[in-house]
Amino acid sequence: MGQDIFEITINGIKLIVIFLLMVQAVPILVWVERRGSAFIQNRLGPNRVGPLGLMQLLADAVKFLNKEDFLPRKAVRALFYTAPVYALIPGVIAYCAIPLGTPLQIEAFEMAGKMWGPYTFAMQGFDIGVGIVFILGISSLAAYTILMAGWGSGNKFSLMGALRASAQIISYELALGLSIVGVIMLYGTFNLTDMVLAQQGPMSFSFMGNQVVIPWLPNWGLFYQPLGFILFFAATFAESNRLPFDLAEGEAELVAGFHTEYGGFKMLMFFIGEYAHMMIAAGLVTTFFFGGYLVPGFTPAEIREFVAQNLASTPNGISAITSVIHLLAYFVKFALFLWFFIHVRWTLPRFRYDQLMDLGWKTMLPWALFNTILTAVVIYVAYNFA
Amino acid sequence: MNHSLLMAILLLSPFVGFLINGARYRKNGPNLAGWLATTAIAISFICSILLVADLIGMPAESRRIAVSFFDWIVIDKLKVAAGFVVDPISAIMILVITGVGTLIHMFSIGYMHHDKGVAKYFAYLNLFVFNMLILVLGDSLLTMFVGWEGVGLCSYLLIGFWFTDKDKAAAGMKAFITNRIGDAAFLLGMFILFMTYGTLNFFDLNQLAPTVPEASWLGAATLGTLMLFIGATGKSAQIPLYVWLPDAMAGPTPVSALIHAATMVTAGVYMIVRLNAMFIAAPNTLMIIAVIGAATAVMAASIGMTQWDIKKVLAYSTVSQLGYMFLAAGVGAFGVAMFHLMTHAFFKALMFLGSGSVIHAMHEEQDIRKMGALKKYMPITHITFFFGWLAIIGMPPFAGFFSKDEILWKAMTSPLGHPLLWAAGVLGAVMTAFYMTRLMALTFWGKSRVPKEVHPHESPALMTIPLIVLGLLSIVGGWLGINHAISSILPGHPANVLEHWLGPVLREPSLDGVHHSVTMEWALMGVSVGLAALSAFVAYHFYVRSPETPKKIAESLGPVYRLISKKYLVDELYFGVIINPLIAFSKNLWHHVDVQVIDKTTYLLADLMKGGGSVVRTLQTGNMQQYAMYIGLGLVAVLSFVLMR
Amino acid sequence: MPSTDVINQIGLSHYLVLSAALFTMGFLGVLMRRNVLVMMMCIELMLNAVNLTFIAFSKFSGRIDGQIMVFFVMTIAAAEAAVGLAIIVSIFKRYREVNIRFFEHLKG
Amino acid sequence: MTADAFIFWFLSLVAVTSGLSVVMMANPIYSALSLAMTMVSLAALFATLGAYFIAGVQVIVYAGAVMVLFVIVLMLFDLREETKAFTRGQVSGALKIAMIGFLAGLIVMVMAQGVKFLAAPDVVDAAKLPEDSSKALGLVLFNRHIFGFEALGVLLLVVAVGTVALARSKGGTHAKH
Amino acid sequence: MLLTTIVFLPVLFALLVTLWPREKSLRHLALGLSLIEFIVSLVILRDFSAATPALQFVEKHMWIERFGIQYFLGIDGISLWLVILTTFLTPVVILGSWTSIEKRVRGFHAALFLLQTAMLGTFLALDAVFFYVFWELSLIPMYFMVGIWGGARRIYATVKFFIFTMFGSLLMLVAIIYMMYLTQEGLGQMSASLLDFYQLKIPFVAGTLLSLQTLLFFAFALAFAIKVPIFPLHTWLPDAHVEAPTPGSVILAGVMLKMGTYGFLRWVIPLFPEAAEHWAWLMLLLGVIGIVYGALVAMVQPDVKKLVAYSSVSHMGYIMLGMFVFNSYGVTGGLYQMLNHGISTGALFLLIGMIYERTHSREISKYGGLAGVLPVFTIFFFIITMSSIAVPLTNGFVGEFLILMGTYQAHPWYAVVAVTGVILGAAYMLWMFKRVFFGEKGQLIMEADHPLHDLNAREIAVLVPLVILVFWMGLLPNHFIDYSKASIEHLVNNRTNYSLPLPGQTPAAPTEAQ
């Protein structure tokens, strides 16, 4: 009983921490996005508030909070208000399942007259056996947010935007799901941590009884599933409703899509939700195809060895520093992909809606199926024809 | 010459003729077709003579040339080959068929000269001969049956030769169907004999036939032979199946001569003679045959007295004469039956051809009331017809006398005979003399009643030559079977050739212990000849001297005369009692059983379904929630049941 | 019966009762609601209730086949929903009506 | 109260409440959203029973796809509060409710009886099933139940074709004019 | 593989016909293909060993293991000729329907080929379920043939035909399933193989309807009896025939009816010997009634085709009679009569179709005097009529004679009644012949706006093979019977303990290749 409460407490804290982290990351991302877009478009961007305009977001936040909270006349109150709140939840919960670093192993130690531990503190919200399925499931719930918001606003533009967006999400979910079947088959697990660990070290695999080692390449999923990567990455754009797939808020057609009627703090929540999706996408790409929190070229054991020799002496210290190193490695990759998202947004034009649907159903889905079959065949050949 | 080759030529020659004429039925002209056909039969005739010559050279007890070409039906015990046999009995037949056939073919060339379908006609005629040969040569009942049906078929075709006339076509159909009735019985007879004796071969059957005459009516021999005899009544036009033959006169006259006088109709007699031992073993059957034969002889003759159509008269005469043959067969005098068959073939063919000549001359007129005094126009026809007349009324020494007299004698004296049969025979003979004389008188003698626009003329040589040949045969044909009473007074005591020829192969009732005086024979002979002559004289008197008398007599007889002239209303009886009710019954079957009962039953089933459906469909309210509730109720019921259990 | 702590000892019966409750709710909805879409949703609810039973039995009898069955049920439910919705949309486009009582053209 | 018990009671409360609201809500959109809620809570219940994969699929398929479709359709139709949400008729209504009550009782009883046939009723036999049964599920699915799986594949294909046909009959988004 | 080839080749042909690009040469293609099939069937004839009753060319593979259902094909003397009849009639029919089928030519030929497969399968399948599949399959193309290319009341006729036959076969299905259960009980392993069915000893109690064997017997017999059709179940036949297009009638009369009689011979009699023996009187009675009844009703038909249809009822009565007397004459005759009927009735339907194409009427009373107008047609019609009324030296005689002979051996009184069929047969055929061909020129011929033309070369080519067969079979029946003799003897002698030896199992079967 006590153990249960302890676990629940720890997990609760982790959830809150991750939630806060994500919320805090949003202002930075917004800043990056605005500065980045300015950079891309050859202009300055926000640069007045604070150094490099870093305080701009703070100011924005104050502005958001002070805006009038109003309800459109035809809006459905319950939905109109719950939708923004609900926007946060799937993103955050899903992100919790992504491993961020090697687990922190705490040896037993005495504090305040009691023995604590030993305890293994996983660097992730919670470790779920069927991680991918969980994330896909939770993130698919995001469609409700959009629908609730769109319909709840009592506005035709909102509704149309919502319908478009949700249809888009459902459509691309297929391609998304199928594109990672190859990954799942490759690693033989749904568990994200296992996947990450499977990518450690230099590239090596066995093919028809021969062990192949390529020392100059990391053992990343990217090299095994290039097509899967492309498809997955493209699909995540659609899933997170970002350009070039942000039809839901196509300004020229629909004003601002499902959040036309939203403003102020509620708008901010949608922002956060959108960025949360982006972060999930970046995290998943990192995890599936770029070795997650692994440092390229080094296995966690090697790093632990390195730390033990050079940086720390106590087991707890070693574990902590190793975890931090991996955490950093993760965030570097993660940031890179976030930047990529932003970069794409300001580089590519928007699709037309039918092009979007054609791409999803007629291009990506068949290719994803092809990738699945190809992977299956290759795996079969690789293992069964020794 | 090789027997099987001869036999093959004998059989196939007419068939080839049929094929050629049949294949070129639109191209072959009358002369080509006719001479082709005649030649074909003539070749057969020559083969027959060669075969018979060989046969004569054999010892009397084993005169038999058997040829088997191939197996026809072989199943289990049933082994029937396409086997053909020439023995003394069939020898007579093939000679008659091919001989008389040749003459009739020749006659036809002239007779049918102007007909359009002449090649077809000759083709049919050849086919008929072919079938007839199969009939008489076949070594088993089944082979015979092939010919039996085949000749029926040809007869059908030839009777209906002028098919555009509905009545003629109907006559053909009538002939075939009536024959079929007989054939059905024939089949049954075969089955009975086969079941009992395990073979259908004539010689085997004759050998296996019980030596002790069968007393029971239900014995195999009796039943089998009885059935075969019913078959024979069909083919040979005996009571009760004779009705087709008078109608069959619808065909061309030479056909009547060949098929309906000389050959086909005698097939029944031939069959009985063939199976003589079997028939002997069945005295009950023989009794029936004799009675039927005698009755037919009398009845047909009586009808013949009232007919006005020249061919109809001859047709009834044929029926009557066939009755004599059956009478002979029925009293066990098979040889005599064959004898009469032969002589009858000569004189009846002669008379038919003569009548054909007359009809030809009269431009297709057949009513003797419109003839008369044709003697002066057609002398040859008259003379030959005259000899035929003498032969048929049994005037010595013409052919008919010997055979008919022998029949009457046997009818009286045979162990199977009876004085009543004799009496019937004499009565028949008297009537025959009457109607034949009447025919002669009305046609050739007396005053001419020929319409003015008709100019009778003598027929061409092509037609008269056969008449002459047949006339000669009618004169001398009887001398083959001179009985010993007559022969004893004749110089040189001529032997009874026919008896010697047929005797060894026939099993006739033994005459041991039966002695009849020669005096009696002479007496009986005298009675019959005398009565016939008297009758002929009376007829001559009536129809030549005082043509009014017959009318008066006819009037005074009233209903009886009308009944007889309407042929005892037998056709009407058959139609009224059998055919029309059958058709009405069939219609009822169709309209009522098929449509009303069977179909209605199925409809009833369908209606039941429909009714059930319309009751149940009220449950289908269209309210889906109600359906769901029914499902729920069903679930409740099932679950309750599960729990209660 | 062994002493049972109904609150703390969560056993098969709990799941079964829960599933029965959901099932009857769904059934109630099918019977009572008039909106075709809601009826379909209620059917989904019933299916889910059954799924729960399957999973529970699977767990408590230690056989995985129950889960397979659920898998199948889900697939079929998805198919059913797709076709059903397509039909309803077609009907709605024509008649502008979703009331089940409106669709009684097939009554006998 | 153990954590397991708490989770169960909590989730069942959510499931029952949202289930009831599916039936009771006059506004079909609320019904649909409630149903989605039920689905999610049921998915969680599945997870507590060790069927993680099924739970995930439940969320993806039911909550994420099927219910979204429902919601989309409802929103397309723009159905608001319905005045005649429920069937009328006291007799049939009463009959229905009575039947359903009876049915519920029967179902529970039958199931309770059925439980007797289990090897060890009411006892979690954890040893029999692995904690994460996904792999076992896959093996069984692709061996013993491969035919059913294939059949479902065919079914889905047919459904896809049929749905497209239905949707195109009056011109969908891609209709060529 | 030969039998598989022969059974399923037509399916391929059907496909080919469907996909053939050129409508014009479609008929030539179909004719060629059907001739190929015929030649393949002649290969069977060549390699068939007549000396043994054993199954030949056997192909046996497990199909549905759990129920013991097999892919089991085999041929013996009983089915041999029916197979060849089927393959023979198809090209004849295609050639015969050259001009009469005008719409949906493609579909028609495809249906014909499918029908051929179904019929061949029925004759060759030796597994109950397999057999049943083909049995039912044959209904479908026929249904379309009548339903699409038929006459005015075709829908009524098709539905009637379909429901009648379906009704019977459902009972048969039940019986087959029950038999399969019996195999499980009796042999320990469920099986649908005919050979295993033969081994069953099904309890039989005389004198009651409720004995197991009797019930199964009637379940099977009903299905076959409807197909044959036996007297009270025949009413679908005239309707179907009248409404069917010529080729449909030919196939229906020529082959499909034989499926029923073949069923009796292959299934009913050997499977339920006691019941068959015990209830033979009923079958004989119905057969005899069928003979007389069919003939009588045929006599009064106003429609030529209906007349021929009822004559089929009569002829099929003969076949029933032959089969149920259980001696080699009867059974041989029955089998032979099946072929005869296929040829002569098929030819009659073809002839009627030819004249119908010219005059568009089948009413007897409107005809008359055709013989003068169409002599060649008349000759052919006459020959076939002779065959139909069983004049010696045509095929019909051999069959009828053997049947009646066999019947008389076993049951004289039935034979006595049946013999009247010989008379009535001649009566209705010749009466019809007289009314159609003889006499004055009928209304149709007088009123025809253009002179009727006689048969052309194609039509003669259709009829000549049939006529040749009529005489061949009549003159040299042993050429045909010899192939079946061993099988029939085997059936007749071992009826109560019947089994069909497989090729390896024959105790005394010197496999002399012919």
Which residue in C has a C-alpha nearest to residue D145's C-alpha?
C68
Hey, are the CB atoms on E405 and B78 less than 8 Å from each other? yes
Distance of CA A87 to the CA centre of its chain: 15
A216: CB partners within 8 A, 6+ apart? A202
If one looks up domain C33-102 in CATH, what number appears?
A: 1.10.287.3510
What are the extents of the domains in chain A?
Answer: 74-384
Q: State the Cα–Cα distance between residues B406 and B429, nearest whole angstrom.
A: 13
Domain tally, chain E: 1
Give the model's pLDDT for residue E81: 92
Residue E485 lies in a domain: yes
Inform me whether the C-beta atom of residue D63 falls under 8 Å from chain A C-beta atoms. Answer: yes
Closest by Cβ to B625, choosing from C31, C105, C106: C31
Q: Is B363 left (phi over 0), alpha (psi -120 to 50) or beta?
A: left
E341 vs D110 pLDDT, higher one = E341
B 225-244 residues inside an 8 A Cβ radius of C? none
Q: pLDDT tens-digit profile of B279-330?
A: 888 888 999 999 999 999 999 998 888 888 888 889 999 999 999 999 999 9
Q: What is the least distance, in Å, from the CA of E219 to any CA of chain B? A: 18
Beta strands A114-116 and A210-218 are unpaired
> Which residues are within 8 A (CB) of B522 and not within 5 positions of it... i.e. 6 or more apart?
B485
Question: How far is residue B159's CA from residue B170's CA, in Å, rounded to a whole number?
Answer: 9
Is the peptide bond prior to B491 cis by the omega test (within 30 degrees of 0)? Answer: no
> Based on the number of CB atoms within 10 Å of its own CB, is A361 exposed (0-12), middle (13-18) or buried (19 or more)?
middle
Per the CB < 8 Å rule, is A140 touching D60? yes
Do residues E412 and B136 lie in contact, with contact meaning Cβ atoms separated by under 8 Å?
Answer: no
Residues of chain B with C-beta less than 8 angstroms from the C-beta of D88: none
pLDDT band at D121 (very low <50, low <70, confident <90, very high): very low
Residue A163: pLDDT above 70? yes
Instruction: Give the count of beta carbons closer than 10 Å to the beta carbon of residue A18.
Output: 18
As beta bridge partners, residue A201 has none
Which segment, A204-208, A308-312, E348-352, is predicted with the most confidence on average?
E348-352
Measured CA to CA, the distance from residue B293 to residue B272 in angstroms comes to 13
Question: Which chain C residues have any C-beta within 8 angstroms of a chain B C-beta?
Answer: 27, 30-32, 39, 100-101, 103-108
Instruction: Give the chain B residue whose CA is nearest to the CA of E437.
Output: B163
- Measured between CB atoms, does B645 come within 8 Å of chain D? no
Q: Is the pLDDT of residue D174 over 60?
A: no
Is B43's pLDDT higher than 70?
A: yes
Total domains present in chain D: 1
Ranges of beta strands (E only) in E23-130 are 56-64, 69-75
Distance between CA atoms of residues B525 and B404, nearest Å: 10
pLDDT at E32: 92
How much is the pLDDT for D122? 45
Mutate to test the interface with D, among C7, C14, C22 (most CBs of D within 10 A): C22
Q: Is the pLDDT of residue D87 over 70?
A: no
Q: What are phi and psi of A101, to 5 degrees?
A: -170, 180
Phi, psi of A105 (to 5 degrees): -95, 115
**Residue of D87, D91, D100, D106 best to disrupt the B interface, most CBs of B under 10 A:** D106
Per residue in D95-107, pLDDT (tens digit) is 777 777 777 777 7
Residues of A in contact with D63 (CB under 8 A): 137, 140-141
User: DSSP assignment of B350-404, as one string?
Assistant: HHHHHHHHHHHHTTS--BGGG---GGGT-HHHHHHHHHHHHHHTT-TTSHHHHHH
From chain B, the residues in CB contact with C108 under 8 A are 616-622
Residues of chain A with pLDDT > 90, as a percent, come to: 0
Query: Alpha helix locations (H) across B25-114?
Result: 30-56, 88-111
Closest by CA to B135, choosing from B9, B263, B44, is B263
Q: What is the pLDDT of residues A226-281, one digit of tens each?
A: 888 888 888 888 877 777 777 666 666 667 777 777 877 788 888 888 888 888 88
Average pLDDT estimate for C40-49: 90
| Interface chains of chain D (3 or more CB pairs under 8 Å) | A, B, C
Q: What is the DSSP string of A162-193?
A: HHHHHHHHHHHHHHHHHHTHHHHHHHT-S-HH
pLDDT at C22 over 80: yes
What is the three-class DSSP state of C33? strand
* D167: contact with B, CB 8 A cutoff: no
pLDDT at position E511 is: 42
Is the ipTM here above 0.85? no
Please tell me the distance from the alpha carbon of residue B632 to that of residue D99, in angstroms, as a whole number.
Answer: 7
Whether the CB-CB separation of E423 and B179 falls below 8 Å is answered with no
E408: its two tokens: 């008389």
Instruction: Give pTM, 2 decimals.
Output: 0.74
Residues E440, B149: C-beta atoms closer than 8 Å: no
For residue D167, the model assigns a pLDDT of 75
Distance (Å) of CA E86 to CA B549, E83, E122, E313, E383: 73, 5, 11, 20, 22
In chain E, what's the furthest Cα-to-Cα distance? 73
| Angstrom distances, CA of residue C24 to CA of C15, C21, D62, D113, E16 | 14, 5, 20, 18, 57
Residue E348 Cα to chain centre, angstroms: 15
Q: Rounded distance, CA B127 to CA B109, Å?
A: 16
Distances (CA, A) of A253 to A157, A164, A353, B118, D132: 8, 12, 11, 100, 48
Cα A234 to Cα A98, A282, A346, A355: the distances in Å are 20, 12, 15, 14
CA distance E172 to E178: 10
Above 90 in pLDDT, residue D91? Answer: no
Each residue's pLDDT tens digit, B414-452 = 888 888 998 999 999 999 999 999 888 888 888 888 888
Contact E192, E180 (CB under 8 A): yes
pLDDT of residue D172: 47
Q: Which of D52, D64, D69 sits opposite A140 (nearest CB)?
A: D64
More reliable by pLDDT, A74 or E83: E83
Average pLDDT, integer, range A24-47: 83
Tell me how far apart the alpha carbons of residues B627 and D157 are, in angstroms, rounded to a whole number.
Answer: 30
Q: How much is the pLDDT for D177?
A: 44
Q: Look at the block and give the residue holding tokens 């449909």.
A: E248
Mean pLDDT, rounded, for A333-351? 85
pLDDT tens track for B595-605:
888 888 888 88
Q: Do B632 and C101 touch (CB under 8 A)?
A: no
Domain spans, chain C: 33-102
Q: Which residues of B touch D95 (CB under 8 A)?
A: 629
Give the CA distances from residue B448 to residues B311, B371, B438, B540, E168, in Å, rounded to whole numbers and listed in that order.
19, 6, 15, 16, 77
**Touch between chain A and chain C: 3 or more Cβ pairs under 8 Å:** no
Of the ranges B168-177, B628-637, C90-99, which one carries the lowest mean pLDDT score?
C90-99
pLDDT tens per residue across all 514 residues of chain E: 889 989 999 999 999 998 888 888 889 999 999 999 999 999 999 988 888 888 888 888 888 888 888 899 999 889 999 999 999 999 999 998 888 888 888 889 999 999 999 999 999 999 999 999 999 999 999 988 888 888 888 888 888 888 888 888 888 999 999 999 888 888 888 888 888 888 888 888 887 888 888 999 999 999 999 998 888 888 889 889 989 999 999 999 999 999 999 999 999 998 898 888 889 999 999 999 999 999 999 999 999 999 999 999 999 999 999 999 988 899 999 999 999 999 999 999 999 999 888 888 888 888 888 888 888 999 999 999 999 988 888 999 999 999 999 999 888 899 999 999 889 999 999 999 988 888 888 877 777 777 788 888 999 999 999 999 999 999 899 889 989 988 898 888 888 888 888 776 654 444 444 3
Phi/psi of residue D27, nearest 5 degrees = -85, 115
Check residue E380 and give its pLDDT: 92
CB contacts under 8 A, D 102-131 vs B, are: 102-103, 106-107, 109-110, 113
Using a CB–CB cutoff of 8 Å, tell me whether E71 touches chain B: no
Q: Does A167 contact chain D (CB < 8 Å)?
A: yes
Question: What does the pLDDT look like over B98-155, one tens digit per residue?
Answer: 999 999 999 988 888 888 888 888 999 999 999 999 999 998 999 999 999 999 999 8
Q: Is the pLDDT of residue B347 over 60?
A: yes
Per-residue confidence (pLDDT) for residue D80, from 0 to 100: 65
Q: What does the pLDDT read at residue D136?
A: 80
Got the DSSP string for E97-116? TTTT--S-HHHHHHHHHHHH
- Write out pLDDT tens, residues B616-625: 888 777 778 8
Other beta carbons within 10 Å of B359: 18
* Model confidence at B180: pLDDT above 50: yes
Highest mean pLDDT among A1-10, A183-192, E402-411: E402-411
Pick B1 or B77 by higher pLDDT. B77
Where do we find the tokens 């019941």?
E275
**Which pLDDT tens digit goes with each residue over D137-165?**
888 888 888 888 899 999 989 998 888 88
A144 and D36 in contact by Cβ < 8 A?
yes
Give me the pLDDT at residue E264, please: 92
Mutate which: B614, B618, B620, B624, vs C, most C CBs within 10 A: B624
Q: Which residues contact D74 (CB under 8 A, 6 or more apart)?
A: C37, D28, D29, D32
Does B635 contact D at CB distance below 8 Å?
yes
CATH number at residue D11: 1.20.120.1200
**Partner-chain contact D64 A1, CB within 8 Å:** no
- Are the beta carbons of B191 and E404 separated by less than 8 Å? yes
3-state SS, E278-347, equals: HCHHHHHHHHHHHHHHHHHHHHCCCEHHHHHHHHHHHHHHHHHHHHCCCCHHHHHHHHHHHHHHHHHHHH
SS3 content of chain C, % helix, strand, coil (to 5): 75, 5, 20
Q: In whole numbers, what is the pLDDT of chain B averaged over residues?
A: 87
What average pLDDT score do residues C67-93 get? 87
